Amino acid sequence: MNEKMGFSLLELTFVIVVLSILAMFAIPEYTKTHREAKIAVLNDLRGKLTNAVDTLKTASNIESRKQTIDDQSYVQYDAGQYYQVAGKLLHPSEICHILGLTIAQLAKGVAVTSIDGMYTCKYENLNTSWIKMNKLESTDCALSYAASYSNSIITAVDINLVGDCLEQ
């Protein structure tokens, strides 16, 4: 009645080696796919922001949607919500507000976490704002909103992913 129970040290070592080899291939692939998915989310936000900027530009042509408060121009984009513009284009302080990530426009130089905690938004200066996805493996990947001015009126905006999110 001398029966062996359990695994030998050799069998356990073999299983650990096989699992290690599988992990060596699976973990980097998972990380890459996870990162690419998050970058796709930022690309989706880029499309939504581009659409919002274009819609707001059109709304700027309707006099009943314009409003001036403290020498700042605002345009109604959706039901009862006004966004600051400089000319007919969205002011950089409004990028997260118009996407519904924050409840108000951004203060200059202050990083703000979105309502759901997934994003960080910052209005850097008169020309630049950005949105970063929290917990993205690459901390240098962001959605950038860069404005070009002429006499305090925005003449063009550039909405792009910047940083190392484009590297493979």
- Domain assignment of residue 1, yes or no: no
| Model confidence pLDDT, tens digit, residues 8-61 | 888 889 888 888 888 787 777 766 777 788 888 889 999 999 999 998 888 888
Tell me, what's the pLDDT at 140?
74
Give percent of the chain with pLDDT exceeding 70.
Answer: 92
Query: Is this structure's pTM higher than 0.85?
Result: no
- How much is the average pLDDT of 95-104? 92
- Domain assignment of residue 2, yes or no: no
- Domain assignment of residue 139, yes or no: yes
| pLDDT over 70 (residue 2) | no
DSSP-derived secondary structure for 90-136:
E-GGGHHHHTTSSSSPPPBT-EEE-TTSSEEEEE-SSSEEEEEETT-
DSSP 87: B
- Domain assignment of residue 4, yes or no: no
- How much is the average pLDDT of 122-150? 86
Tell me, what's the pLDDT at 168?
46
- Domain assignment of residue 3, yes or no: no
- Domain assignment of residue 38, yes or no: yes
Give percent of the chain with pLDDT exceeding 90.
Answer: 38
- Domain assignment of residue 64, yes or no: yes
- Domain assignment of residue 108, yes or no: yes
Number of domains in the chain: 1
| Secondary structure element (H or E) that encloses residue 1, with its range | none
Residues 84/94, Cβ–Cβ less than 8 Å: yes
CB proximity list for 118: less than 8 A, separation 6 or greater: 133, 134
Tell me, what's the pLDDT at 136?
63
- How much is the average pLDDT of 75-88? 85
Residue listed under structure tokens 């000319």: 87
> Which domain does 157 fall in, by range?
9-166
